[in-house]
Amino acid sequence: MIEYALMLSVVAVALMSLYPKDLLKAVIIGTGIEGLALAVLYQELLASDVALTQAVIASTVLPGVFALTVYKTRRLEE
């Protein structure tokens, strides 16, 4: 039963990352929180090696790279 709740939370977080106007907030919500929820889901499904990889890569490294990319990008104001 917990697996279904985690799956729904992953989908809800992915949809929530579409709404912020600030790209840094979208990066943090979309990759960080979603990656952590997926890591917990993998742990509940007894795939601990995949959960550990998901937690390290998708919850820490990937949001950092995306945030750095958004920070370095210039916005043209109209």
Rounded to whole angstroms, how far apart are CA atoms 8 and 39? 14
Looking at every residue in the chain, the average pLDDT score rounds to: 84
Please tell me whether residue 21 adopts helix, strand or coil conformation: coil
Is residue 36 within 8 Å of 24, Cβ to Cβ? no
Residue 47 pLDDT: 92
Q: Which residue has the tokens 């979603």?
A: 34
Residue 76's pLDDT is 66
Q: If pLDDT is split at 50, 70 and 90, which confidence band does 49 have?
A: very high
Q: pLDDT by residue (tens digit) across 10-42?
A: 888 888 888 888 877 787 777 888 888 888 889
Residue with tokens 């990352």: 17
